Chain A
Amino acid sequence: MKFAYYPGCASEGSGIEYHMSMERTAYILGFEIQELEDWNCCGATSGHNTDKLLSVALPARNLAIAERSGLNMVVAPCAACYSRHRYAEHTIQHDPEMRRKVEQVLELDLAGSTETLSILDVLVNKIGTETIAAKVVNPMTTMKAACYYGCLLVRPVEHTGFDDPEDPQTMDQIMKALGADPIDWSHKTECCGAALVTSRPDVGNPMLYRVLKDAKESGAECLVTACPLCMLNLDMRQAAIEKQFGEKLALPVYYITELLALACGDKPSQVGLEKHFVEAGTYLRTIEVRGAEARAAAEKAAQEAAEKARAKAEAAAAAKAAAAAKKAAKAEAASKAESADGQAAPAKEAAAGKPAASADGDQKKIDAFVAAFNKNPDKMAAKLVADEAQAGILVSALDDKKKSKLASLMVKDMELAKKAAAAYVQQELKKQGECQS
């Protein structure tokens, strides 16, 4: 994938790390960016504060360069540049009169074929968070980051539209792909004061303070931004804000592209981390240690869980084996009881009157008969009734209660057992007859 690249004026000064890390990000993720030849400043806020035609004509010159280069997708990492180019695009496409004027001013024809994209849009919708996640070698585990979108990446909606204007998520998604924990906070799209921090600090500073304070109070340990002007305020002016409001904030601020490159294995110097005003390296080392600990703990927990699961599986297997053994033993006992039937029953009949048989011994025999009933009901039934037909009826009538009753009678007195069996057959016949009638 290839994009035209509009670095913006900050890339040559205060936002130089953004430029460095943007190039690294493109390299790492394997997309191409081609700097627009001889691009000019978009005019920013000063442009649209002063003259509408000028504010469209300045970015339009860059869009014309993109059109000539044949690259219609223009990535503009600076949120303010992005906004001005989107505005110009929108005007060129929807306001024919204005477009004619701009063409006269530039002495150029405009096709209106470009699409300026923010870096968040490119990363989430053109490249994809899975692709990013697949490149991560140093995950930012345990990083508590406040994703700061500011104003112009999400507003006005008709010019941006790639994310929600009140609770945007694209940067959070990228941070999750890098392994970090983006926090929820209420000032993710509040204004940092923008140019007012420079031109009217009496107004801009309280605005900036509120953003930093809310991040801190919401549990953030750092801020992430996709705008060099937000960076200028949040990072370079943080010390002055701390002084003015008498509060220690100590929040390192990172460009999203810096964190991406670092998570994908870059060294801090490759993305210009040492150029930050609020020291930014220490927190990353903290994350490294804490992340390693967290990963080790997670691994241990996983291991323990696996151990537990294995033990459980073993116990289950043992229980199964025991059950199988018991079943086998029962079956054996049953077959013994069966083979014993022929001779044992008369012997028992003879011995019925004798009090010699212990209750314990009787119970074993009863159990053996019950097992035999379960295993081979037809054969057992045949012993108690006169013919096969009656045996069949008896079998269909037998339930657990009847089986144990018959078994105990068989042990005590075969005749009684036969009588009981006959009664069951009668009962069953009656029942079946009722059903049929």
Chain B
Amino acid sequence: MENSVLLSPADNHQKALIRKLEQEAGTSISLCYQCGKCTAGCPAAFAMDFPPRQVIRMLQLGLTDMALNSNSIWICASCETCSSRCPRGVDIASLMDTMRREALKRGKTDKKVAAFNKAFLSNVKNFGRTFEAGLLLRHNLVTGQPFKDMELGLPMLKRGKASPLPHMIKGRQEMKKIFERVDQFGGEQ
């Protein structure tokens, strides 16, 4: 064994995680030949610590923690450009999505993005619809930036583009149940 080269340092645990990510994302990272087309077209790559190609490379090398800790997965705007252009058919956007959910489960997230998502979904759960005005307000309070988007609030109200109260659907009980049952599935999806 003295001449063996360790191509992937991944242990069994990491390998299992990668398999799970691939399965949920419906794609295969081994297809990637590192051409970089995904990064070239990514409109958010400028703000990422590791651009999409490198995130895929990390997974190929079994560096799952590094990939899940990168800010890239939170910067990704889900624009789908990478997936639609990849010459190998790797669904990078879906992997990004899957990694976000995995990171969330581990309590690793971008605070602002996570706060926004949480506020958004609590609207959906309680009202059945999103309540834009309330959402902005709540998001800003939670993230400690109460004056953000002030230039939008009043003009929106004046133009009848923001209702002061949420629209509520009749099936609100149904919505609560949907969220509960999804939770019961253990967020495994």
Contacts and interface: CB of A to CB of B under 8 A. Distances in A.
A93 to B, nearest CB: 14
B61 interface: no
A210 B46 CA distance: 13
Contact of A165 (B74, B84, B170): B84
Main SS class of interface, B: helix
Contacts of B40: none
B170 A105 contact: no
Contacts of B179: 54
B84 A104 contact: no
Contact of B78 (A194, A210, A237, A277): A194
Interface stretch (B2-10, B49-57, B118-126): B118-126
A75 B113 CA distance: 29
Contacts of A206: 46-47
Given A52-B189, A199-B116, A236-B152, A191 B43 contact: yes
A296 interface: no
Contacts of A9: 129-130, 132, 167
B189 A193 contact: no
B110 A50 contact: no
B155 interface: yes
B79 interface: yes
Contacts of B43: 190-191, 193, 207, 210
B163 A151 contact: no
Contact of A14 (B97, B117, B161, B185): B161
Given A10-B132, A191-B44, A275 B159 contact: yes
A191 B129 contact: no
Nearest to B43: A191
Interface in A83-108: 98, 101, 104-107
Interface string A18-41: 000000000000000000001111
Contacts of B170: 38
A363 interface: no
B120 A105 contact: no
A203 B47 contact: yes
Contacts of B130: 9, 41, 44
B110, B162, B174, B189: residue with the most chain A Cβ atoms closer than 10 Å = B189
Contacts of A282: none
Contacts of A358: none
Nearest to A54: B182
Interface stretch (A152-160, A307-315, A317-325, A399-407): A152-160
A203 B128 contact: no
Main SS class of interface, A: helix
B44 to A, nearest CB: 6
B123 to A, nearest CB: 7
Given A52-B101, A240-B151, A277-B155, A40 B175 contact: yes
Given A199-B112, A199-B113, A240-B151, A51 B47 contact: no
B28 interface: no
B24 to A, nearest CB: 7
A152 B77 CA distance: 11
Given A155-B83, A155-B84, A195 B77 contact: yes
B144 interface: no
Interface in A37-81: 38-41, 43-54, 57-58, 61
Contact of B47 (A53, A61, A202): A202
Contact-residue size bin, chain A (C-beta under 8 Å from the other chain): 35 or more
Contacts of B44: 191, 196, 203, 207
Interface string A114-130: 00000000000000000
A12 interface: yes
A13 interface: yes
A244 interface: no
Interface in B134-189: 136, 139, 149, 151-152, 155-156, 159-163, 167, 169-171, 174-175, 177-179, 181-182, 185, 187, 189
Contact of A191 (B81, B117, B181, B189): B81
A51 B185 CA distance: 11
Given A53-B185, A157-B84, A190-B43, A14 B156 contact: yes
B24, B74, B79, B116: residue with the most chain A Cβ atoms closer than 10 Å = B79
Contacts of A240: 151
A276 to B, nearest CB: 8
B136 to A, nearest CB: 8
A41 B181 CA distance: 17
A229 B67 CA distance: 29
Nearest to B130: A9
B32 interface: no
Contacts of B98: 52
15 contacts: A14-B161, A38-B171, A40-B169, A46-B118, A48-B78, A49-B100, A54-B179, A54-B182, A101-B185, A105-B178, A156-B91, A190-B81, A203-B47, A204-B77, A277-B155
Given A13-B133, A51-B187, 13 more contacts: A13-B161, A13-B162, A41-B129, A46-B116, A46-B121, A49-B78, A49-B100, A61-B178, A101-B185, A156-B93, A190-B79, A207-B44, A274-B159
Interface of A: 9-10, 12-14, 16, 38-41, 43-54, 57-58, 61, 98, 101, 104-107, 151-152, 155-157, 165, 189-191, 193-196, 198-200, 202-204, 206-207, 210, 236-237, 239-240, 274-275, 277
| Nearest 7 interchain pairs by C-beta | A191-B79, A155-B80, A46-B120, A53-B189, A46-B117, A52-B189, A13-B132
